[in-house]
Amino acid sequence: MTTVAPRHPLGAGRGGAGAGMLAGLRRRRLLVVALLVALLVLACLASVAVGAKAIPLGEVWSALVAPTGGENDIVVRALRVPRTILGIIVGAALGVAGGLMQGHTRNPLAEPGILGVNAGAALAVVIAIYTLGITSLLGFVWFAFAGALVASVLVFVLGSVGRGGATPVTLALAGAAVTVFLFALVQAVILLDQQALDVYRFWVVGALSGRDPAVIVAVLPFMAAGLLLALAHAPGLNALAMGEDVARALGQSIPRTRVVGVTAITLLTGSAVAAAGPIAFLGLVVPHVARYLTGPDHRWLLPNAALLGASLILVADVAGRVVVRPGELQVGIVLALVGAPFFVALVRRTRLMTL
């Protein structure tokens, strides 16, 4: 037997040069956060100013601060501002949910849309329309939650029952299969009832326009709770990123971290889907960009994903308003068209990146 020299876990790297590097990293991360905040502010301004009726920024300001009841004031206060707020919370929720999903599954392809959560919410909403005659977005919220929860648990269980646990490929496949199944059931319901179809088709496309501001109030508590949970268990997620065995050795309670994570994911995606309809690919793209900017530390990654998600959805929404004037392309469609190439590029890399 050879003897191994004992090494202190916090060895020499803690001193001199290491501290300097750490400070540099911290500066860089703070700079990134500042830039993302600036980006979000710009996106908000664009979202309020650009549209079928362009409004100069000066008038936007006066509409916000000292409304006179003119046409521009009404457009800004009643339409554009609620829409922008909705975009911010939905984008932030989806960005963080995507980050959580990728962290928990250690799967670069994890995303609410790919993993069947959206389909679950869609089925629940359609059942609500069909059996209970609910037509208001406010009424959908609870059903979307329930559907999202059931579908996400189903996909996680199916994707990880086999030997070897959940790999990127098995989870993506399980999600796709469950999505096909759930959407087939959705089709069956909307076929029986044209009324349901008429309500459903405007919900399923995923849009920020035409949503009742009361929806924002209704989903906000759930999103806030989800965000807090997500940020609170970020350190646990960091430990999990090294594998379950290492995390356990570091004193993490794996079941607790998982339960908190799945709760947060469900709260965030469920409320986002309830508020804006299923929006795919946002939760996929945003965490990757955030990871590129700040590294894999979830304590930084998750807040940055929130900022970035909000900015991206607003930019996509503005783009949708501009490209087919005077009509609109819904934000869900814009994001699918932008996000799918990103997904394809990820898959095409020689080795699927493992987190």
Q: Applying CB under 8 A, which residues contact another protein?
A: 109, 113-114, 158-164, 167-170, 172-174, 176-177, 180-181, 183-185, 187-188, 190-192, 194, 197-198, 201-202, 204-206, 280-281, 329-330, 332-333, 336-337, 340, 343-344, 347-348, 350, 352
CA distance 223 to 7: 44
Residue 125, CA atoms < 13 Å, CB-side half-sphere: 35
154 vs 229 by CB, closer to another protein = 154
Structural element, H or E, at residue 119: helix 117-132
146 vs 336 by CB, closer to another protein = 336
Q: How far is the CB of 351 from another protein (least distance, A)?
A: 9
Q: How far is the CB of 169 from another protein (least distance, A)?
A: 5
- Please name which of 71, 44, 51, 47 lies closest in space to residue 59, comparing C-alpha atoms: 71
CA distance 225 to 264: 8
Q: How far is the CB of 186 from another protein (least distance, A)?
A: 10
95 vs 175 by CB, closer to another protein = 175
CA distance 34 to 294: 12
126 vs 227 by CB, closer to another protein = 126
201 vs 299 by CB, closer to another protein = 201
Q: How far is the CB of 119 from another protein (least distance, A)?
A: 10
Q: How far is the CB of 70 from another protein (least distance, A)?
A: 31
Q: How far is the CB of 174 from another protein (least distance, A)?
A: 5
CB 272 within 8 A of CB 86: no
Is the preceding peptide bond at 326 cis, omega within 30 degrees of 0? yes
Burial code (b: 16+ CB inside 10 Å, e: under 16) for 234-264 equals bebbbbbbeeeeebeeeebeeeebbebbbbb
148 vs 237 by CB, closer to another protein = 148
CB atoms < 10 A from the CB of 136, how many? 11
